[in-house]
Amino acid sequence: MKSIADIKAIREKMQAQIMNRDNVSDAAETRVVVGMATCGIAAGARPVFNELVDQVQKRGLENVKVTRAGCLGMCKLEPIVEVFVPGQEKVTYVKVDAQKAKDIIEKHIVGGNICTDYLVGEE
């Protein structure tokens, strides 16, 4: 069974990666934000958050942060995911599920193409 002591190996690998990277500033970080108020949670925000995390981990994406926010103000369109790529305008995806979460990472974050089908008005 895995234990907390197993973290050591992962930590050492990550610390080595951080050392190898040229000081990437916070400004260069892409943020993916999931609405996690009652409206978001009831609509399926938890599996969306976890799928985003899994995808970022699987692809070894550096400088991509998956975080949570409260109610984003459009409860009927939850789960909502906001993407902040440095130097670009915020993109808001609505009615996101695990499959769409995977597409957002693959096509938008990695590929650089906004998933226009998942924007407000297209859902």
Partner 1 sequence: MRELSLHILDIVENSVKANATLIQVDIEVKNGYLYITVVDNGKGMSEEFLAKVVDPFTTTRTTRKVGLGIPLIKQAAEVAEGEFSITSKLGEGTTVKTSYKLDSIDRVPLGDVPETITTLLYPNIEFVWRYAVNGEEFIFDTREVKEELQGVPIDSPEILVFLKSLLKENIDSINGGIII
**Which of these ranges, 23-31, 52-60, 90-98, 109-117, lies near partner 1 under the rule CB under 8 A?**
52-60
45 Cβ partners below 8 Å, 6+ apart?
34, 35, 36, 78, 79
Asked if 28 touches partner 1 (CB under 8 A), the answer is: no
Q: Which of residues 57-116 bind ligand ATP (CB under 6 A)?
A: 71
Among the listed residues 17, 38, 88, 116, the single contact to ligand ATP using CB under 6 A = 38
> Which among ligand ATP, partner 1, none contacts residue 77 (Cβ within 5 to 8 A by kind)?
none
19 Cβ partners below 8 Å, 6+ apart?
none
